[in-house]
Structure formats: structure tokens, C-alpha cells
Amino acid sequence: MPLTFTGTLDRDALLRATDALVALVSVPGVAEAWDRESAMPGMTVGGLTR
């Protein structure tokens, strides 16, 4: 499924979101729980990052 966007991407918002994601997945507990089911049924913790 191709992703399409209308308008333009806010580069600053994208960079802030990326920084926040890196900070979250860098937490040791996230690595330990990577293959476990997350709070979203049917999705692993690692699956939520994809």
C-alpha cells in the first residue's frame, strides 16, 4: 500500500517525532519486552515501532 500525502510535511515536527521515538525505543525495558505483546492486542512491542 503506497503512502501518499497531501500538502507538505512539517520537517521540524517530523524531526521532533523521530527524536521522541528514538528516546522511547532506547529504554532498556523496551528492548527486554520487544517480542512480548504490547497494550495493543495482537501487536508486539517491537511491532508498534514499525
Residue 18 inside a domain? The answer is: yes
Region label for 34, one of left (φ > 0), alpha (ψ between -120 and 50) or beta (otherwise): alpha
Given pLDDT bands bounded at 50, 70 and 90, which one contains residue 19? very high
What is the per-residue pLDDT for 1?
A: 59
Number of domains in the chain: 1
Residue 2 inside a domain? The answer is: no
Residue 20 inside a domain? The answer is: yes
What is the per-residue pLDDT for 10?
A: 84
- At 31 the three-state DSSP class reads helix
Q: Is the pLDDT of residue 3 over 70?
A: no
Question: Which structural domain range is residue 35 located in?
Answer: 11-49
Share of the chain above pLDDT 70, in %: 88
Cα distance between residue 42 and residue 2, in whole Å: 23
Cα three-residue angle 27-15-34, rounded to 5 degrees = 25
Residue 4 inside a domain? The answer is: no
Decide which of 20 and 5 is more confident. Answer: 20
